[in-house]
Structure 1
């Protein structure tokens, strides 16, 4: 399944990117599974997205929890709980 990833604020800064298109392996079907898959990359990914980090998540521009099922071509976004601008 192909999806778009978006990263905001301190998550974007830690990863050095604001977006990425990714082909997910079979079995990665929820927002929480996407996060876990990215953590497996290690390094900055594990530090920025690890389970100990308080993060907000959205699927297709709607705030959601880790149990939210994703769909082909969708967008998953990660950002800290408070953002300013």
Structure 2
């Protein structure tokens, strides 16, 4: 992980602890990463997770989803560059 990935991880942890009862799931597969603020319990849950070819891409996809869902509150803690 590089410095940017660590910032993204910190951001995800803050969001998880602040609004999702601390739930944060990060999965690494052969071909992609998946990130969610829920605990997956079946394949459909895994398929619904934010996906990317890197941790950074998956994390940013999830954070952008949150920002689009609640743009007012998500601006309180901006997504790192």
TM-score range, shorter chain: 0.3 to 0.5
- The TM-score, its normalising length taken from structure 1, stands at 0.32
Pick the structure with more strand per residue.
1
- The TM-score, its normalising length taken from structure 2, stands at 0.33
Pick the structure with more helix per residue.
2
